[in-house]
Each structure stands twice: as C-alpha cells, then as structure tokens.
Amino acid sequence: MKRIFSILVMILFFGLSVSMVHAESVRAVVDTQRLRLGDSFSLRVIADFKGGAVVMPPMPDFRVSSRGTSTRMQMINGTTTREVESLYLLSPLRAGALTIPPITVTGRGGTWRTHPIPIEVAEGGTTLASDAPWGVSAELSTESPYVGESVIWTFRLQTAARFQNARLAKPSFEGFSSEALGEGRAFEQEIDGRRYAVHEMQELLIPQRPGALTIDRARLSVEMVTGRSRRSADPFFDDIFGSQRTMEPKELTTQSLSLNVRPLPPYRGEAPFSGLVGQYTLDASLEKARIVAGDPVTLTLTIEGRGNIRDASAPLISLPPGIKHYSDTPVEAVDLGPSGWQGRKQFKTAIVPLVPGELTIPPISLVWFDPKAGAYRTDTTEPLSIMVSENKTAESVELFQGGAAPSAPVTMQEAVRMKGQDILPLKVDADAMSDDGPLALSSFLTWLAAPLGIFLVVFLALRRFRRDVSVAESLTRRAIAQVKAAEKAISDADLFYALLHSALSLAMGALSGRPVEGVTGDDIVRIVGGAGGSDDMVVACVAILETIESVRYGHGAEGSDRRRDNVATLMQLMREVSA
C-alpha cells in the first residue's frame, strides 16, 4: 500500500513537471516538447520576484533569440503576487532527443536554477503536414544546373492562421549571383479540406562556379494569432475596446538545399563561343540594300532569348577588306521574367563601303550553350548583300579641286587593292646570322658608367695638380712683393734685411712647392740646384743669406749699392721662378 502511494505521488509529480519545471521561486516553461526540425518553440523563464537576472547557459543544439521581458501582477484571495517573465524563441539545430540545460537566475540575494527540459525533435520540416496550421518550405527549379544557367529559388509560407510582423531572412546564396524576382505573391490553396493562405517569394540565382553548392536555410520570424486572450470573455467588449488576440512569436526555418553545378562541356566548334547560356536567336538586318560609295549603312544584329543575355557581346563580323565600320553602343531591352532574364540586345554597326559593286556580308554566327539539351547551339544568319553605286558627286569635286583643264585627258585614280594574300620572301643577307641583340642590362650600365669614371679620374687628378701649382704661385707672388718692399726700404737697414730674409725664404718655398722656414745655405744649394738654377745664382743667393745673417748677428752693414744688388739678384731669381 505504501509502495502504491509512493508511485502515485511520483506520477503526479512528473506529470506536472512535463511542461512546467519549478525550482522554488524560479521556473522554466516551454510551449511544446515535441516538434520537427525547422519549427521553433517558446521558452519562458518566470521568476516571482523583481530584478532577477537570467543567465542563459550555452545551448549548442538550439538557436536562441530573446523576445523581451514582461511583468505580471495577480491578486488571489487578497494576496498579491508579482511574476517577471523572460521570453525566448528556440529553434532546434538538429533532430533527436535534446535537452534545455538548467537556467540560472540571480536576484533577491540568491541564485536559482531551473530544471533541465527534454525536447524531442523529429526529422523533416519542409513539407507541411496536413494537420499543421503553418509551415515554410524552399525549393529549386533544378538541382543540377550548368554554370551560368538560371535557377529559381522559391520560398513558401503556408498558414491556416492569421499572422503579422513577418520578416524573412534570406540565405546568403554564396556561389551565385542573385536577384529578387518581383514582389512576391499570395494565393489560397486547399489541402485535405483545409484552406491555407500561401505566400510565395522567388529569387533568380545564376551559379558562378561548378561543384557542389549549398543554399542555407531561410528563416521567417512571424507572430501567429493563436487565439483570444482571457481578458475579455464577451466578444461585444472586444468589438468596442478592440480585439484582444493572443500573438505567439514563431521562427520558421526551411531546409538547406544542395545543388550539383555542372561545368560547361568543352567547346570545339569553329565559331567563337559567346559565353551565353540559355535559349537564344540571332537576327541580322541591313537598313537599306542600295547605297552610294562612301555613305554609311547600318547593320543591326539582334540577340533575343532567355538566360544570361545581359552578358552578351557583339557577334564577330568578318567584313571584306576595304570597308570601314564603326560600332555603336548596344541597346538592351532585358527584363526579369518568371524564368529569369529575358529580352533582346541589339548591336548596331555603321558600315561604309568605299568602292562600288556588290558587297556581301558573310553569315554571322552566334554560339550559345543550351542547358536543356546539354549541348552548344549555333544560329547563323543568311549572307546580306548591298549594291554600292558610284559616288559621282565626290568625283566631280575631286576633278574641280585638281584644277585640270576641261580639255586635258583625265586619268581616274583608284586606290590600289590587294588581289592576293601572300607573305614577302626570306631575308638572305649575310648579317642575318650575327648576334644583333641589345646589350644586357649590366653591360649597358657599364658602358654608361665608364665615361663618367674616366671623367672623375681626370677631374680629381686635375684638382690635385692645381692645388700644388697654386701653392707655388702664391709663394712666388708673396716673395716678389717682399723684394719690392725691401727695395723701397733700402735706407732702413733693419727693415731692409728683415724683408730680404723673408723674400729669400718665400723664394725658396716657391721653388720647392711648399713653405720653407729657417732657410740655411745647404737648403739654398739643394733647392735652387734642384730647380735647375745656375751655379752663379746659387752662389749669389747663399751670399745674400750670409750677408743677412752677418748683419743680424754681427751688426755689420752694406752700402746702398750693395743692397740694390741683392734686391736685383733676388728679383732675377723670382723672374726665373715665375718663368
């Protein structure tokens, strides 16, 4: 009996805790514990005190988004209770038995933790079950397109309930160029006797590279009307004070989609491949069939079809030689249709034939890839002919300008036209075997730098020579000046001999190329003799030195004539030095 009682208590306890988990004054509540992958559910964390902080633990199996906090007050039997509710929207990221771990709430001087909540997630959420009130799906027009082929991605929301504030987060479409196809559409559909509103949006995708590509899930955030609130029991009051509907936030997710993008097969045709993928036609037309030489005629090439037509470039036109042609800017009339880009692109070329005769524009080809057939297709135009007549006006003007006499015979000059196509013969000169290549960079730089090097060497040598010359010249000039000063001071013996000694020292310096201090008789013999001076000059200079020294140290003196002779001797020496 005691055992049965215990089991009953256990059943009661767990039965209550399926959807409501208490942890003293904090609890976590979910609106469902069984759902499919792609659906979402709400989680409420309720605390019966104010100022509680909810700390959500890491939940790798769910995508969690907060939906705000609300406060609710209740008065039951005179007792007021206050509840603070934090609302979260959870989307499972995988199927299987998942668990919401304990959630921590801090406040009122303590820390509370909720119990873990098990969640069962079943596979598959794209197809709408007949009993489900709403659902989303995504699909592709083809799962194995070629590179450049148009693919339509369609998103659908099917709902039997009313909703508001719908926000669709599209996938990134990595590996594709994408463009929204219109504003979307809405229609009604009956499934198993139940009417659904279907809202559809489409995106044009063009694969940019081959290989396996994945389009991520699309997510729709929406508030679903799940019923009326209990605030008003009478619909009459609802009509007066406004509807009191219960809104339930939902996040609906489609499945991710996989594609195998195929590369274009190798092209081995003659005409160049245009790069277009889809279904196309090529048309060529001429503005007129008869013109005068020198006048332009417009050739219009029109590419029309569905696919990546915006990438179309002008088809190759092989015109005969001697014809001028000028391309115009292409004109596009391309729109987004239900299956992608469609329309036409026109390329206009002005053709100016210069010679009279029948001009034939050869067939023009457009090669594109047809993804439905998995093969390259070629559309070729018919050859176009123009009759070009002679331009008589131009000829008469030329004749007038030529100034020829009316009676003189006139030779009509024509442009020389090539009749055949061949190359000129070989070159058999003997120098065809010699190496005639340009210099390598290093050799060339050496050749450029060599004259500069020679210049620098000469410049430096010249500079040094000039410096030596300048010392000797300076000393010579100073010696001459001292001799002239001594000549003027003949009457003053002390000054005369001082100046004479200075002049003699400077003269020796000028001869040796550097200043000489304390000149002696031996110095004079060596310097004057070394400079090629005569023996008489050496003797005379030594005599001058001896005279100066005898006057300075022995107080002897010479007469004026003798002093003039010494001056003359030194002046003679300086003249020889200068020479």
Does 438 participate in binding another protein (rule CB under 8 A)? yes
Does 74 participate in binding another protein (rule CB under 8 A)? no
Amino acid code (one letter) for 61: D
Does 350 participate in binding another protein (rule CB under 8 A)? no
Among 107, 133, 175, 210, binds another protein (CB under 8 A): 210
Report CA dihedral (227, 232, 234, 238) to the nearest 10 degrees. -80
Among 431, 522, 536, 561, binds another protein (CB under 8 A): 431
Nearer Cβ to another protein, position 62 or 369? 369
Among 4, 212, 408, 423, binds another protein (CB under 8 A): 423
> Which among 262, 251, 269 is positioned nearest to 89, based on CA atoms?
251
Does 375 participate in binding another protein (rule CB under 8 A)? no
Among 263, 320, 357, 402, binds another protein (CB under 8 A): 263
Nearer Cβ to another protein, position 241 or 455? 455
Query: Which residues in 139-178 contact another protein (CB under 8 A)?
Result: 147
Say if residues 335 and 341 touch (Cβ distance below 8 Å).
yes
CB 194 → another protein: shortest distance, Å?
47
Query: Which residues in 267-286 contact another protein (CB under 8 A)?
Result: 267-268, 272-273, 275
Nearer Cβ to another protein, position 75 or 433? 433
Does 330 participate in binding another protein (rule CB under 8 A)? no
- In whole angstroms, give the CA distance from residue 296 to residue 325: 9
Give the count of residues interacting with another protein (CB under 8 A).
44
Phi, psi torsion values for 312, nearest 5 degrees: -65, 135
For residue 368, give both structure tokens. 């594109």
The per-residue b/e assignment along 81-111, b for 16 or more CB within 10 angstroms, e otherwise, is eebbebebbbbbeeeeebebeebbbebeeee
- In whole angstroms, give the CA distance from residue 316 to residue 490: 111
Stretch that binds another protein, among 77-85, 132-140, 418-426, 557-565 (CB under 8 A): 418-426
**Other Cβ atoms closer than 10 A to 37:** 19
Stretch that binds another protein, among 99-107, 187-195, 260-268, 406-414 (CB under 8 A): 260-268
CB 270 → another protein: shortest distance, Å?
9
- In whole angstroms, give the CA distance from residue 163 to residue 215: 26
Does 491 participate in binding another protein (rule CB under 8 A)? no
Amino acid code (one letter) for 572: Q
Stretch that binds another protein, among 46-54, 331-339, 446-454, 470-478 (CB under 8 A): 446-454
Nearer Cβ to another protein, position 112 or 176? 176
Say if residues 139 and 258 touch (Cβ distance below 8 Å).
no
For residue 439, give both structure tokens. 């210099």
Does 448 participate in binding another protein (rule CB under 8 A)? yes
Q: Residue ranges of the alpha helices (H) in 206-287?
A: 235-241
CB 492 → another protein: shortest distance, Å?
45
Q: Residue ranges of the alpha helices (H) in 264-311?
A: none
Nearer Cβ to another protein, position 278 or 533? 278
Among 454, 469, 557, 568, binds another protein (CB under 8 A): 454
Helices 560-578, 441-488: crossing angle, 10 deg rounding: 170
C-alpha dist (Å) from residue 544 to 118, 178, 446, 494, 505: 132, 114, 60, 15, 11
Query: Which residues in 218-257 contact another protein (CB under 8 A)?
Result: none
Site residues for another protein per CB under 8 A = 147, 209-210, 263-264, 266-268, 272-273, 275, 316, 421-441, 444-445, 447-448, 451-452, 454-455, 458-459, 462
